[in-house]
Amino acid sequence: MLELRGVGKTYSGPRGTVRALERVSLDVNGGEFCAVCGRSGSGKTTLLMIAGGLLAPDAGAVDLDGVSVYETETNERAALRAASVGFVFQQFHLLPYLSALQNVLVPSLAMPIPQAPARARELLERFGMEGRAHHLPAELSTGERQRVALARSLLARPGLILADEPTGNLDDESADAVITCLAESAAEGAAVLLVTHDKGLAARASRTLTLREGRLSER
C-alpha cells in the first residue's frame, strides 16, 4: 500500500541545516499495523507528512497504492490523499462550530462517499459516541474528541491510516481505545502507520521500528 524509497528531507534555518530524514525506506502493506517509535525531534512527523502526500521530500520516492505521489500534479495528489489516506493527529483539528456528527462528515465535502451519513453514525456508535453525536467539540472530553477525529479519518474507508502521536493528550483508558481501533482497522485490511514516542504503545503494533536522528531501523 505504502512504499518509501530512499526518502530524505533537510530543513535550513538560522542555526544551520537540520537533516530530518536520511535515506529512509519503508513498506507498509494492507492489514499491517506498523509503529515508528522515536523521541521528539527524531523526524517522526516529517516522515508521516511525506508519507501522506503533505510534504515533498528532497530525495527519494513515495508510492501510494501504486501511484508515485510526488510525480502527480497538486490537484491529483489532493484527490489521492482524500480517497486513500486517513489522518489522525494529536491535536484533533475538529471544527469548533460543527457537531461531532458533522465533523465526522467533513471528508464527504471534498468527495462523494457512499451513504456517508449512515457510515458516520455507524462509526460514532462503534466508538461509543452515539449519544454525543450532536454535541460540539467544546462539550466533549479530550478522549471523546479524539474518537470523533478517528471516526472522521475512517469515513472514506481509506487504505492507509497515518496516526501522529494520537494518544499524547489522552488518559490511559482513552489511549487504549484509540490503539485498539487502529489495530482493528489493520485487521480489516487497512495499512496503519503510527508514530509515537511511547514504546509501550508501539509494542501494541504488529511491527515496530525506531527512528533516530533521521535514520529508520528495526527495533
What string of DSSP letters covers 73-95? -HHHHHHHHHHHEEEEETT----
pLDDT at site 202: 86
**8 A C-beta contact, residue 13 and residue 205:** no
* 66 contact partners, CB below 8 Å, separation of at least 6: none
Q: 120-171: per-residue pLDDT in tens?
A: 999 999 888 999 999 999 999 988 998 899 999 999 999 999 999 888 778 8
Mean pLDDT of 107-116: 89
- State the CATH number of the domain containing residue 45: 3.40.50.300
Q: Give the full edge-to-edge strand order of the sheet including 85-89.
A: 85-89, 160-164, 191-196, 33-37, 207-212, 215-218
Query: Is pLDDT of 15 > 80?
Result: no
Query: Is pLDDT of 68 > 90?
Result: yes
Mean pLDDT of 173-187: 87
Mean pLDDT of 172-198: 89
Q: Which three cell numbers stand for residue 18?
A: 537540520
Query: Is pLDDT of 219 > 70?
Result: no
| Count of domains observed in the chain | 1
pLDDT at site 92: 84
Mean pLDDT of 37-54: 90
pLDDT at site 21: 93
Mean pLDDT, rounded, of the chain: 90
CA distance 59 to 204: 31
CA distance 81 to 83: 6
Higher pLDDT, 90 or 101: 101
Give me the domain span that covers residue 129. Answer: 2-218
State the pairing for strand pair 191-196/160-164. parallel
Higher pLDDT, 171 or 23: 23
- For residue 158, what are the CA distances in angstroms to 43, 84, 97, 194? 24, 5, 26, 15
CA distance 25 to 173: 34
Query: Is pLDDT of 90 > 90?
Result: no
Query: What percentage of the chain's residues is helix, strand, coil (to nearest 5)?
Result: 35, 30, 35
Query: Is pLDDT of 189 > 70?
Result: yes
pLDDT at site 28: 95
Confidence of residue 118 (pLDDT cuts 50, 70, 90): very high
Query: Is pLDDT of 33 > 80?
Result: yes
